[in-house]
Amino acid sequence: MVKLRAVYSKSKESMFLSHLDIIGVFEKTFRRANIPLEYSKGYNPRPEIVFAHPLSVGIESKGEIFEAILVEELPIAYLVRELNKVLPVSITILSAEYINLSEKSIMSRVYAATYTIEICYSNVMLLGKDKRQIENLKMWYKLKLSEYLEQDFLLVIKKSTERIERIERIDIKPMIISYDFLLDGNLEITVNAGSKSNLKPDIIMSGFCEYISQNLEYNIKREKILFN
């Protein structure tokens, strides 16, 4: 019996699978690849596979992580090859390793996640503009996003889940660990993630849209999950 940790990417059609769907995909994948998983004990045994941190539907990722308990140790190269053969083309295992069986579950150790956020510029926004004007437009959004993030407080709307709906504002600034702008102008941001504190990047962007009084389209990609 061995413990496997694997990093995988998720894109295209798989972006729209729920977390439960992803669990089902991997359980079936191990069966189809003839790689037996250990099962939990009890009334309703389940395959021993856990995922680091659920990802919201519609977000691409190249840094998802799962851990699985295998019945026997197999060569890593063989294991990755056989699993990728039967996984959907939009899910790919990028790397894998065996870890100590006594290590705590990855799910309980996650504390942060890094994302890249790309603002999408529609044809309407770019219509009639030359190359220089387009660059100036992109620079304006970059400067406004930086200005937004540099505020002492980032108050965003949060709706309660109680029977009587309440709308309140919460400060998400303490949940942002770090951020920077990449050479292509995209924002790379690391935020709290996990069971104790979790900030979804679309909350950041909804606050930014309110800040500039515009409805923007944007793409979010999870780059990596951080754990201790």
Backbone angles phi, psi at 226, to 5 degrees: -105, 135
The per-residue pLDDT for 42 is 79
The per-residue pLDDT for 71 is 97
Instruction: Examine domains 2-103 and 111-227 and report if their fold is the same.
Output: yes
Q: Return the exposure string of 191-203: e unless at least 16 CB atoms fall within 10 Å of the residue's CB, then b.
A: bbbbeeebbbbeb
What is the CATH number assigned to the segment(s) 111-227?
Answer: 3.30.70
Task: Classify burial at 181, counting beta carbons within 10 Å of its beta carbon; exposed 0-12, middle 13-18, buried 19 or more.
Answer: middle
Task: Classify burial at 127, counting beta carbons within 10 Å of its beta carbon; exposed 0-12, middle 13-18, buried 19 or more.
Answer: exposed
E-assigned strands of 121-186?
155-159, 167-171, 176-181
Is pTM beyond 0.85 here?
Answer: yes
Which residue in this structure is represented by tokens 């409805």? 215
Query: Whole-angstrom distance between the N-terminal and C-terminal Cα of the chain?
Result: 24
Question: Which CATH fold would you assign to the domain 2-103?
Answer: Alpha-Beta Plaits (3.30.70)
The per-residue pLDDT for 164 is 61
The per-residue pLDDT for 60 is 96
C-alpha separations of 49 from 100, 150, 202 in Å: 15, 40, 28
> Which positions of the chain have pLDDT values less than 70?
160-165
* pLDDT per position as a tens digit, 167-185: 789 999 999 999 999 999 9
Task: Please give the Cα distance from 97 to 44 (Å, whole number).
Answer: 28
The per-residue pLDDT for 165 is 64
Long-range contacts: 42-50, Cβ < 8 Å, 24+?
49/23, 50/105, 50/106, 50/107
The per-residue pLDDT for 157 is 85
* Segments in 43-130 forming alpha helices (H): 76-86, 106-109, 123-126
Could you tell me the residue ranges of all domains in the chain? 2-103, 111-227
